[in-house]
A and B are shown apart, each in its own frame.
Chain A
Amino acid sequence: MRWTRKFFNQFEWLHKPISPLEESFLLPLQINKSGSLISERLGLKLPDKYWSIIDGYLYFSDEYWKLFLQLGTLQLPKRIKTEIDISSKRWITKVLPEYQKEINKLNKLSLNELSVKKLLELFKKTGELESWFFSESLYVGVVCGITELLFKYSYPLFVKDSDNNNYRELLLGYPDKGIDMDTQLWEVAQISDEQKKQLQLGKWIEKYGYRIQDKDLIYPTLGEETELLNSYLKLYRETLNPKLKLMLTNEKRINREKFVKQNARFRIRLFEWILNQAQNYSQIRNSRPFYYQGNSIMRKILFSIKLKANFPQDKNDIFYITMKELEEVVSNKFSKESLQKIINERKQTYYKQLLIEPQFSIEA
């Protein structure tokens, strides 16, 4: 079977090898849940095996195009229209509140008071929650992409504009969770009293420190990287207030909206619907990655397990064992020496994989 990394060039995720713990637990959960959700809502049956990890890197089946060679494809336009109408409301009124409610419960738990076995159960439960949320986030991201593409290709049909790429200006300047976080960090940086600044930084980390670097559990969250955060604070002392830039962006959108009204080839409800949906979904798309809080919690749980199970050596060793091995460690079925040997071998493999550029297409 042929596998491809074709779609990875478009996005920034998963360009490094996947850690053994991620590979054996969270990633399969997230991919399979996402696949099921897309299949269920868009009526397309996915093949049994459509993804694989080869030499540490995630690949998808090269025969992805066969997805559209099934009867379900005939229903696709209608299903897409329905999903565009309901997905944003589902995301905002159901998914986000439910996720946040569960995250708030998890954040209130005192990990020190839990036994190793309870911590492991909690780890699995958090993984399930994060996988559900990830699947919903990926799904709504697909809908975001569809609405933008619909808008991109309809813009030149409905608007007289010398540059068709100007459609992008209509999707800018909306509330964005990531930019809000960064603007608040900028405000912390402007505090001249060092003690007060560090206090406010602590509050910022409590609120937003869960921000992830990449999908894999092995990567520290932004809140764990205090040196990096202090670099940002130093950088921001030399940076102008971002609110001005954001105001200009907002103005750009308003001016482009006026331009569209004045230069529409014909007024038609369909185009207005496409524009409204694209604008609606652009707000969701930009903010999605800034909601992922599960990795931060799972990392804390893992480090608690490491301490209580008297885990070998380095803090990050735990990411080089599989989920099954983690269960065995918790049940005291593993000797420290044999575990350390496995970890050392896996680390070597991982570092070798880090140096290699994965093949774009591979037969396996």
Chain B
Amino acid sequence: MIIIKGIPGSVGVITGVARVIIDQHHLQAFKSGEILVTKQTSPAWTPIFMAAKAIVTEIGGQLSHAAIVAREYGIPAVVGVPNATKLLKSGIKIEVNGTKGTIQVL
């Protein structure tokens, strides 16, 4: 059982398919209801939050943009996960626990 730790950004527990997006120009690969895994987000990325089931970022704390917007949309988020985009691969099933700040590879 692989559990990756980060900072709880937005509460909730959800299971879904990870989609690793490094560059926003690859956003067309993202499907509605997937879990966004990325290095960091910015104001230009927030449109994707509406379609995401959960958010995982490498950079950011509890007051980061990713955490705040995830809370507004009521979706779980784990932020500040070192090397998340290398440890998680697109297509794998993961559980994101935004309350504890953990990601479990299923």
CB of A168 within 8 A of CB of B71, answer yes
CB-defined A-B contacts under 8 Å, sample of 29: A8-B59, A9-B80, A10-B60, A10-B64, A11-B59, A11-B65, A176-B72, A179-B72, A179-B73, A182-B50, A183-B50, A211-B44, A213-B42, A213-B44, A221-B44, A225-B44, A228-B24, A228-B25, A231-B27, A232-B47, A234-B28, A235-B30, A235-B48, A236-B47, A238-B33, A245-B50, A249-B71, A249-B73, A286-B72
Assembly CA distance A168 to B11 (angstroms)? 10
A15 CB-CB contact with B under 8 Å:
yes
| In the complex, per-residue mask of A151-189: 1 if CB is within 8 Å of any chain B CB, else 0 | 000000000000001001000110010110011011000
Interfacial chain A residues near B24, Cβ < 8 Å = 213, 225, 228
B16 at the A interface (CB under 8 A):
no
| Minimum CB–CB distance for A349 against chain B, Å | 21
Is the C-beta of B105 less than 8 angstroms from some C-beta in chain A?
A: no
CB of A239 within 8 A of CB of B32, answer yes
**Proximity bits, A223-237, B CB within 8 Å = 1, else 0:** 001011001101110
A238 to B65, CA, bound (A): 24
A202 to B98, CA, bound (A): 37
Docked pose: A9 CA to B62 CA in angstroms: 11
Inter-chain contact A232/B48, CB cutoff 8 Å? yes
Chain A hits for B73, CB < 8 A: 179, 242, 245-246, 249
> Which of B27, B51, B60, B69 is A178 in contact with, Cβ under 8 Å?
B69
A-chain residues with CB within 8 Å of residue B61 when the two chains form the complex: 9-11
B25, A15: Cβ atoms under 8 Å?
no
Q: Is B2 an interface residue (CB 8 A)?
A: no
A261 to B78, CA, bound (A): 30
**Contact between chains at B47 and A185 (CB < 8 Å):** yes
CA of A112 to CA of B39, assembled, Å:
39
Total residues of chain A contacting the partner, CB 8 A: 46
Task: Report yes or no: B63 in contact with A148, Cβ–Cβ below 8 A.
Answer: yes
What is the minimal beta-carbon distance from A359 to any residue of chain B, in angstroms?
15
User: Quick one: which of B43, B51, B75 has the most chain A CB within 10 A?
Assistant: B43
Q: Which residue from B41, B51, B71 sits with its C-beta under 8 Å from A238? A: B51
Judge whether A50 is part of the interface by a CB distance below 8 angstroms: no
B86 CB–A CB distance under 8 Å: no
The answer to whether A15 touches B59 (Cβ under 8 A) is: yes
Assembled-state Cα–Cα distance A9/B6 (Å): 12
* CB closest chain-A residue, reference B28: A231
In the complex, whether A214 has a CB less than 8 A from a CB of chain B is yes
Residues on B with beta carbons closer than 8 Å to the beta carbon of A234:
28
With an 8 A cutoff between CB atoms, is B66 at the interface? yes
By the criterion CB–CB under 8 Å, are A249 and B80 in contact? no
Determine if A211 and B25 form an interchain contact, defined as CB atoms under 8 angstroms apart.
no
Contact (Cβ within 8 A) A242 B50: yes
B35-92 interface with A by 8 A CB criterion:
39-44, 46-51, 59-61, 63-66, 68-69, 71-75, 80
Within 8 A of B (CB), among A188-223: 211-214, 221-222
Q: How far is the CB of A219 from chain B (nearest CB, A)?
A: 8
CB-CB under 8 A from B69, the residues of chain A are 178-179, 286
Complex: A235 Cα to B80 Cα, angstroms: 26
Q: Is A12 an interface residue (CB 8 A)?
A: yes
Q: How far is the CA of A362 from the CA of B28 in the complex (A)?
A: 38
How far apart are B88's CB and chain A's nearest CB, in angstroms? 19
Closest to A220 in B: B44
Q: Closest approach, in angstroms, between the C-beta of A323 and any C-beta of chain B?
A: 25
Q: Is the CB of B47 within 8 A of A252?
A: no
A15 interface neighbour in B31, B40, B51, B74, Cβ under 8 Å: B40
Q: Which of A264-323 touch B at CB < 8 Å?
A: 285-286, 289-290
With A165-B99, A182-B49, A228-B24 known, 9 other A-B pairs at CB within 8 A are A8-B59, A10-B60, A176-B72, A182-B50, A231-B28, A232-B27, A234-B28, A238-B33, A242-B73
- CB neighbours of A231 from chain B (8 A): 27-28
Min CB–CB distance B25 → chain A (angstroms): 7
Instruction: Please give me the residue from chain B that is nearest to A233 by CB atom.
Output: B47
Cα–Cα, bound, A222→B41 (Å) = 13
Task: Give the most central of A232, A234, A235: most B CB within 10 Å.
Answer: A235
A76 to B30, CA, bound (A): 47
Q: How far is the CA of A266 from the CA of B47 in the complex (A)?
A: 42
Closest chain A residue, CB of each to CB of B60: A12
